[in-house]
Structure 1
Amino acid sequence: MSDEMNVDLKRPSEVDGAAGQANGHDDSGTTAPAAKRVKVDNNNDNAENAPKEIDARDDRDRGMAKIKPEFLLASAASKAQVDDDAAEASGAIDHADGKVDARDGGGKKKKKKQGGQNHNRSYGQFDDELRLCNSRTYSNEFSPKPCRYGDRCNMCHDLRKYFSEGRRGDLTTLGGKCPMFAQYQRCPAGWKCRFIKSHSEEVEREDGRKELVLLGAPDADDEEPDRKPGVVNVVHADVKYNLSRRKADLSKSERYTKWVEKETDLMRKIYNRKKPDCDESEDTELHELRAQFVEPPFKASEKRKIYFGRETPTLAPLTTQGNLPFRRLCVELGAQVTYSEMALGMPVVQGGKGEWALMKAHESEISSPRYSPSPDDIVQGYDNSKDIKFGAQITGNQPWVVMKATEALTNHLPHLRVVDLNCGCPIDLVFQQGAGSGLLDAPPKLEKMIRGMNAVSGEVPITAKLRMGVRDGKPNATKLIERLAFGSPDFRERLGAPGCAAVTLHGRSRQQRYTKSANWTYIAECAALIKSYNQQRDELTDTIREADASTQANTTGGKMYFLGNGDCYSHIDYFDHVDNAKVDTVMIARGAMIKPWIFEEIEKGQYLDKSATERLAYVEKFVRYGLEAWGSDELGLGFTRRFLLEWLSFTCRYIPLGILEHLPAKINDRPPAYRGRNDLETLLSSNDYRDWIKISEMFLGPAHPSFNFQPKHKSSSYDTIEAEG
């Protein structure tokens, strides 16, 4: 661990620092042109009246952040470049057991390791030395529950031995108080809690014996004592068991699959009979075949209405980092729409605990998003009071997989805004199976998926997230969007539109991954195309006909919402994309991970120069929310520390506005070596993982001896996946 920075480990409220603000948005709502940068005066943090000058940096300075001279270190070497694509390089994926996953093309021969692979890293074991039996976890010392295994149980049944030999001592961080008990007067961790002294006591009984008594224990008849307060969409174990045994009711998907098979057979017969020189009898038979077509069992127009607008900045679905505590923090800071981490369709259908755990949401995510449309833009029939912020994202490589996954989710999750289909994830493991961005080159399959998901999702709308295309220089998003808006020309007249309620486009190709800047020019072209679809359906081209209104998405006039995604790092970027690219709203990914208060900047319309104290307070909030979500026992502390370190690997990339010479800041700009305005700010900017561990110890104490966290690339400050789609 680095000893170069001597930071007093005080609580955030005790650390010196002041927040400044720099206004980059005028009263008229317009934003400064992207080609200009605001010169920041050293003695004035408010840049509203600061002079503007053309960014005259030469090519050597491109991609480099301009730091005020007084903050530069003697070393002219720049900070290590962060490779946003490092975690998704091609090649077989090595797992913790040393084996190669055959699904990623490694079944025949183990490939040579390549730098930048997304390894399934081992973080070590972070559990108690002695495992306390569940029959003792929630019971007082003298009144334990009977152990179902009796003498065969190999876990610890002696509370005092467990405290003296089986666990590490209580934590003194966070005031020594359990966040769960302080908030809810109940701790699901029971005696395993690392803050147990804050909700237990030793009571002397009449016979002189002293008993350890647990405060805030779950009810004795509670079937799920580990259920976390404030968490929704918690699916009972019986549901997952029935899914794993193929006993769950997924009859809608099965009926729709049979209908699709029958329609496919009829289409094949019609195609084979369709000859230019057919006689009258054959023509009659052809009409009889066409008469056998049956209406598809869905009406997208009957689904619940949703709304995306200027006032609804959206947090992207993020693999690894889009966890419940992080989403909760972003909602608190102003995020209006959130998504689960991307779940694989097949494990969902099979009742996989890991995938279903991704669907848990905090109660703050089921509140209504902000809604303040202008009088000229009122959404007819939209009831904001019934809308919520949280949606689920899934992916799969076959229509029946995503259909069954969608039906399972909508049957058992009571709080879902939408189900989003990921059609852009560039990860090799996903792409090579034909899922994620593998769907970009399979438009018929993609259309079948959206139609099928709409057929089984009940009132929950279906949306999709795309990339520009698979290969650089060959974008096909316009054709895909047309297909999602109206359906294939071969089926449009009979089946209507697929009913896709919204499309999100990430302005990069699959081949590009996260290199170069997002192509907002292409996003704007797609937005204009969708606007023409929504306004002039009957006059698009000679070959396009308007789809049946009853099959359109249940939005204003059948409108399909359009979201842009890529490189949004400030309110300037956000409003520029909404006003100039004409997207309905912007989905934010890495910008939110680096500075989650970007949503607050969008709401206030100005830059917020957060002090180191405020930034550390967000870290403390994440820790508290993590302990609530994953538990305050040794295992929960390990998970909280792991995901905190992953997040700190992004937050260290934030360059404080007060030390920049020019605004606006850009997400891809990298600074030369610099020091912060105080020691804490310098610590928070470090890209040394040992300093991230040092920050985690401020709130979680020393890590478990077997805990392991070390980036596999010394030149990269993080190793995680961002499934931007």
Structure 2
Amino acid sequence: MQDSEQPEPLVAAEARTEEAGVTSEVNEPSSKRQKLSHIATTDQRDRKHGIAPIKPEYLISLEAQDVVDDDVAEGAGAADNNATGRPGQQQDGGGKKGKKKQKGQNHNRTFGHFEDSLRLCNSRVLNNEFSPKPCKFGERCNMCHDLRVYLAEGRRPDVETLGGKCPVFERYGRCPSGWKCRFVKSHSKEIQLEDGRKELVLIQDRDQAGLDDNQDARPGIVNVASSDIKWDLARKKVVLEKSEAYIKWLDRDSAITHKLYNRKGGTEDAPVDPSDLEELRAQFVDPPFKPSEKRKIYFGRETPVLAPLTTQGNLPFRRLCSDLGAQITYSEMAMGLPLIQGQKGEWALMKTHESELASPRYTPENGKIVEGYDNAKDLKWGAQISGNQAWVAMKAAEALTKFLPHLRVIDLNCGCPIDLVFQTGAGSGLLDTPNKLEKMVRGMNAVSGEVPITVKLRTGVRDGRPTVQRIIERLAFGNSDFRDRLGAPGTAAMTLHGRSRQQRYTKKANWEYIAECAALIQSYKNKKDDLTDTALEPDQSTQANTLDGGIYFIGNGDCYSHIDYFSHIDNAKVDSVMIARGAMIKPWIFEEIEKGQYLDKSASERLGYVEKFVRYGLEAWGSDEIGLGHTRRFLLEWLSFTCRYIPIGLLEHLPPSIQDRPPKYRCRDDLETLLASTNYKDWIKITEMFLGPAHPNFTFQPKHKSNSYEIDAEG
């Protein structure tokens, strides 16, 4: 290992560290923390726009590296060939002659398959050699039933990394993967029976772990929907009574409204004549029930929020961020229709670790105490869903509150920019249909019981044409023509990403516009009584159950340091800040926010976070061949972001910018070089430090840049 004062290896697109002998650095002492907050005021006139200010002694070339594609940060798919198109329109996918295929496409992106060559029957997985469970398929079963044959020929040898010890067994005293575990030697043995036979047995304390023989059950994991629930949803045997009743009422009310507008030749967003309003009031029928009183929630300066991240917002990553100080976490965005259809993949996104059930920090200042708020009963984790119709959003919300016992809020995604979602009218497609969006939030509130409803937005669909302000007013008070009979939709919190759908993740987030919207929210709080029918007191069941009945407002976009975080809270006047790419590049940003200082993490500390992710991944997905494959896949996804981190000690000016791209530079040691490499083969090498060689059939396609090829992990 080279001395840290002799910067050597080059970090560039083709740079590689040829030797992997760096694991010994994991046990090195922690790096010295640098309290550099005062440097944020350094004269930055010499900084070049878009180029990270690397110290001269580490520079090799002033040429900036290629810009990466950040559409994957919160979910991306097909290229946006018609960014201004309306939802539902078929857009050219770039496959026609003469059309150039754009960057960011991830069509048919696969990771191969990683299974044992012989599949061990489930009747043998968790039982000793001579005491298996009866196989329900009997002689028709085509899986392996001979345990010794399976161990000798049906699987790859045990993994020797992590000391050869199963992380799940070490922590919980039982491994749900049983004989399939790639560390099975650490929790099994061969014993000799009285009759002279030798039996292979598992060392497992079932009582201590508190688990049954259900292999879907994972220690420490909650919010696990049973197979019976998903099966009943798929067969339409689950009756969502509240949603069904509210949908019938909504259909009748919509029919009356549509009839009136069609007669007048207008639209639902057009002004309504007073006489028309009187006619509507005469035909109005109260909803079948009013929303239940909502659980009080809290967002504040001390509650930095981890954004709902497609792919990377998986349970192990959320758990790591929670360890490092994230106070609010969200599931990956789940599609509403597959949820109510009981699809296994969508319900898997709802799994939560018990660490996310902890209460967020709560130290209100200046008398900002939420009346009735009980921090001890609050928790960190909320679910995010997407839907393109009111009935889909309502049923998904009721299903979540019915089958998930641990749920802080349900967040409706109204900002996802990808074509797959936008073209169906969901995600950012809702930004152009405020009437539908209001119905969705109102209906979700009606059926979600005590669980509050929140919304995540973008500034608008098209660049330079922000439209979110009218949506904010709708979500705060409802349509001005009808709020006297329906009240407010009851939005508890809104999050605004400071970019349009067309911008995706290009250009800087517009925090000036976020500040304007935050001021708008504050003005609504101040004149709430004036905007409500003065003849009646506001119906509390339609109000957001927050501080003074107001709405929390969270900003999102380009937060990459504690300086950014507190600047946005102080200057934009948002209640808190949601962090996405900043957390993926350096998850210890939450620790920096808590301590109020920059942390120059050593390479060994950063590698320690990788190891922690691996251990959490094996606990979440299993320590068998499939679990190792899933852990490797999601670790590679994460490493494609962490390689972009430029150590604080190499920067000439602070604060760092998430949009800056580094010129070619040297790192302080070999391990730091390996972690900064943009070569996918180095990422695979890092995974092999903890997971051993990849399965021969495992493949990996980098998302970033123009790398649209597929490679074999062994190659």
Q: Same fold (TM over 0.5)?
A: yes
Deviation at 1:118, TM superposition (A): 2.4
1:85 matched to which residue of 2? 71
Matches within 5 A, 1:485-634: 485-538=476-529, 548-634=539-625
Q: For 1:274 and 1:345, locate their aligned partners in 2 and report how far apart those are by CA, in whole Å.
A: 34
3-state secondary structure, aligned to 1:465: strand
> Could you give the per-residue CA deviations for residues 538-573 of structure 1, whole angstroms, max 9, x where no partner exists?
457999999644421111221100000000000000
3-state secondary structure, aligned to 1:564: strand
Q: Per the alignment, do residues 645 and 705 of structure 1 end up closer, same or farther by CA in structure 2, a change over 3 Å counting?
A: same
1:667 matched to which residue of 2? 658
Is 1:18 paired with 2:31?
A: yes
Is 1:379 paired with 2:392?
A: no
1:184 matched to which residue of 2? 172
3-state secondary structure, aligned to 1:501: strand
Q: Under a length normalisation based on structure 2, what TM-score does the superposition of the two structures give?
A: 0.89
Deviation at 1:164, TM superposition (A): 1.1
Deviates more, 1:534-543 or 1:614-623: 534-543
State the identity %: 69
2:403 matched to which residue of 1? 412
Q: Per the alignment, do residues 11 and 448 of structure 1 end up closer, same or farther by CA in structure 2, a change over 3 Å counting?
A: farther
Is 1:118 paired with 2:106?
A: yes
Partner amino acid, structure 1, of 2:44: D
Is 1:458 paired with 2:449?
A: yes
Q: Per the alignment, do residues 663 and 407 of structure 1 end up closer, same or farther by CA in structure 2, a change over 3 Å counting?
A: same
Is 1:8 paired with 2:21?
A: yes
Is 1:161 paired with 2:149?
A: yes
Q: For 1:580 and 1:286, locate their aligned partners in 2 and report how far apart those are by CA, in whole Å.
A: 42
> Could you give the per-residue CA deviations for residues 463-497 of structure 1, whole angstroms, max 9, x where no partner exists?
00000000011101110000000000121111110
Deviates more, 1:639-648 or 1:380-389: 380-389
Q: Per the alignment, do residues 529 and 636 of structure 1 end up closer, same or farther by CA in structure 2, a change over 3 Å counting?
A: same
187, 209, 217: which one pairs with 2:197? 209
3-state secondary structure, aligned to 2:382: strand
1:239 matched to which residue of 2? 229
Q: For 1:712 and 1:288, locate their aligned partners in 2 and report how far apart those are by CA, in whole Å.
A: 55
Aligned residue pair count:
677
The answer to whether the 8 A contact 2:508-2:558 is kept is yes
> Could you give the per-residue CA deviations for residues 656-711 of structure 1, whole angstroms, max 9, x where no partner exists?
00111111111111111112111111111111110000111110001111111132
Is 1:325 paired with 2:329?
A: no
1:388 matched to which residue of 2? 379
2:461 matched to which residue of 1? 470
Deviation at 1:517, TM superposition (A): 0.2
Deviation at 1:159, TM superposition (A): 1.0
Q: For 1:17 and 1:548, locate their aligned partners in 2 and report how far apart those are by CA, in whole Å.
A: 55
Q: For 1:494 and 1:620, locate their aligned partners in 2 and report how far apart those are by CA, in whole Å.
A: 56
Is 1:441 paired with 2:432?
A: yes
Q: Per the alignment, do residues 550 and 630 of structure 1 end up closer, same or farther by CA in structure 2, a change over 3 Å counting?
A: closer
Q: For 1:389 and 1:162, locate their aligned partners in 2 and report how far apart those are by CA, in whole Å.
A: 42
Is 1:678 paired with 2:669?
A: yes
3-state secondary structure, aligned to 2:666: coil
629, 632, 636: which one pairs with 1:638? 629
2:340 matched to which residue of 1? 349
What runs of 5+ residues in structure 2 fail to find an aligned partner?
1-13, 82-87, 266-273, 711-715
Q: For 2:414 and 2:280, locate their aligned partners in 1 and report how far apart those are by CA, in whole Å.
A: 35
118, 131, 142: which one pairs with 2:130? 142
Q: For 1:285 and 1:687, locate their aligned partners in 2 and report how far apart those are by CA, in whole Å.
A: 63
Partner amino acid, structure 2, of 1:398: Q
* Structure of greater relative contact order (alpha carbons < 8 Å, 6+ residues apart): 2
Q: For 2:31 and 2:708, locate their aligned partners in 1 and report how far apart those are by CA, in whole Å.
A: 27
Deviation at 1:115, TM superposition (A): 3.5
Q: Per the alignment, do residues 300 and 502 of structure 1 end up closer, same or farther by CA in structure 2, a change over 3 Å counting?
A: farther
Q: Per the alignment, do residues 17 and 263 of structure 1 end up closer, same or farther by CA in structure 2, a change over 3 Å counting?
A: closer
> Could you give the per-residue CA deviations for residues 377-399 of structure 1, whole angstroms, max 9, x where no partner exists?
11111111111110000011100
1:280 matched to which residue of 2? none
Q: For 1:270 and 1:609, locate their aligned partners in 2 and report how far apart those are by CA, in whole Å.
A: 64
Q: Per the alignment, do residues 383 and 269 of structure 1 end up closer, same or farther by CA in structure 2, a change over 3 Å counting?
A: same
Q: For 2:567 and 2:634, locate their aligned partners in 1 and report how far apart those are by CA, in whole Å.
A: 32
The answer to whether the 8 A contact 2:16-2:677 is kept is no
Q: Per the alignment, do residues 502 and 299 of structure 1 end up closer, same or farther by CA in structure 2, a change over 3 Å counting?
A: farther
Deviation at 1:85, TM superposition (A): 3.3
Q: For 2:487 and 2:178, locate their aligned partners in 1 and report how far apart those are by CA, in whole Å.
A: 56
The answer to whether the 8 A contact 2:333-2:413 is kept is yes
3-state secondary structure, aligned to 1:8: coil
Q: For 1:208 and 1:290, locate their aligned partners in 2 and report how far apart those are by CA, in whole Å.
A: 87
Deviation at 1:155, TM superposition (A): 1.0
The answer to whether the 8 A contact 1:687-1:717 is kept is no
The answer to whether the 8 A contact 1:2-1:691 is kept is no
Deviation at 1:325, TM superposition (A): 0.1
Deviates more, 1:79-88 or 1:368-377: 79-88
Partner amino acid, structure 2, of 1:153: C
3-state secondary structure, aligned to 1:488: coil
Deviation at 1:68, TM superposition (A): 1.4
Deviation at 1:356, TM superposition (A): 0.3
The answer to whether the 8 A contact 2:247-2:391 is kept is yes
Q: For 2:472 and 2:163, locate their aligned partners in 1 and report how far apart those are by CA, in whole Å.
A: 53
1:57 matched to which residue of 2? 46
> Could you give the per-residue CA deviations for residues 378-435 of structure 1, whole angstroms, max 9, x where no partner exists?
1111111111110000011100001001111110000000000000100100000000
1:193 matched to which residue of 2? 181
Q: CA RMSD in A?
A: 3.0
Q: Per the alignment, do residues 291 and 433 of structure 1 end up closer, same or farther by CA in structure 2, a change over 3 Å counting?
A: same
Q: For 1:538 and 1:230, locate their aligned partners in 2 and report how far apart those are by CA, in whole Å.
A: 46
Q: Per the alignment, do residues 347 and 605 of structure 1 end up closer, same or farther by CA in structure 2, a change over 3 Å counting?
A: same
Deviation at 1:14, TM superposition (A): 2.9
Q: Per the alignment, do residues 544 and 118 of structure 1 end up closer, same or farther by CA in structure 2, a change over 3 Å counting?
A: farther
Partner amino acid, structure 1, of 2:652: E
Partner amino acid, structure 1, of 2:50: G
The answer to whether the 8 A contact 1:630-1:636 is kept is yes
Deviates more, 1:533-542 or 1:645-654: 533-542
Q: Per the alignment, do residues 318 and 104 of structure 1 end up closer, same or farther by CA in structure 2, a change over 3 Å counting?
A: farther
Matches within 5 A, 1:246-265: 246-265=236-255
1:279 matched to which residue of 2? none
> Could you give the per-residue CA deviations for residues 74-115 of structure 1, whole angstroms, max 9, x where no partner exists?
x554333212137545269xxxxxxxxx99768998786443
2:713 matched to which residue of 1? none
What runs of 5+ residues in structure 1 fail to find an aligned partner?
26-36, 39-51, 93-101, 276-282, 720-725
